[in-house]
Structure 1
Amino acid sequence: MDIQRQIPASFDRVQRTQYGYNAKQVDEFMQRARVSFESPQSAARAVKSADVRAVSFDPIKGGYAAAGVDAALDRLEDALARRERDELVAERGEDVWLREIGRLAGMLRGRLHRPDGQRFRRPAKAKARSYNTTDVDDLCHDLIGYLEEDKPLSVDNVRRAVFRPAVGKDGYEESQVDAFLDRVVELMAAID
């Protein structure tokens, strides 16, 4: 697998008056990922697909354009997830991988099959930002179709899901929805 396709040498920058990702932070992470990908045994700490999913960069004027960096991170995460799957299958067998996928899918299905409006917690604070319950529930219906009915759904649709804002108990708690969607992305990246 060609790492250059996953991580370009540089990224486009936004205008000096606009905010983008901190270029130094992006470059350092991408270099660490490149070393980890090309020669994992020489990396101080191997970069895993979960690390790519969790990374964030400070906003800075004149930084890297988010769209290009995010697209590279998505490709990198997918490549690492495939490699992690292949390594697990090689070390412990396909049955172990299938059991792990089944366990994770079962956990996710439990929440997905809750009634609309009841899938996630409501924020404890009355004025806290939250996600529109209908938008989140609609994505959950799409996920049920993907997991149980073989309906097509791209992992990028989940990564890029945008929900209308809600306030307090009118919506779902953002952090819980985000954590759930991270696990969904982990599952989809391992399957695809």
Structure 2
Amino acid sequence: MILVEETAVATAALPVVQFKEHLRLGTGFSDDAVQDAVLESFLRAAIAAVEARTGKMLLSRIFTWSLTDWRHAARQALPVAPVVQIQAVILKDRFDEATPVDAARYSLAQDAHRPVLEAVGSCLPVVPPHGGVDIQFEAGYGTVWADVPADLAQAVLLLAAHYYQYRAETGLGEGCMPFGVSALLQRYRPVRVGLRAS
């Protein structure tokens, strides 16, 4: 299973102004934008860390998830949330020849933690032997920072500020994720339910 981010978060969507206000950086100077590239890099790192911890994509972009087979014949849970739409399902044979699946054969079941690609009918199309399937989808809360839930947005600013403050740290300890950030992310963490083998 391989998840590929096909489109990146646009620089214009990053909350650079809010981050400057959060850091209480001075304004009104001729070199106000001199740190923008550095601040953007810390914001991107914080967004990536929050998304990795929660499995929630903050800003909308396109992904391709490549599988060798379905986990269940009639449904396939997707690796991240929230999924806005399934753009394509493409079967690939052993020679990498692609065959798009008719969109009438599947649907998206929305879920806050684990959206699902479901079969319309009894089962999803059979994956060719020694081949695979690519699921292309759009995921994210929205295209602008205002679409991101307030607590996740605050967690990003807190974590980016932490990275900024400890940018010279190379060891553990002070560089670990702050408790306040972990607390904000807690309710978004995916719930793992399973039975232990006896």
TM-score computed with the length of structure 1 as normaliser:
0.24
Choose 1 or 2 for highest CA Rg: 2
TM-score computed with the length of structure 2 as normaliser:
0.24
- Return the structure number with greater relative CO, CA threshold 8 A, min gap 6: 2
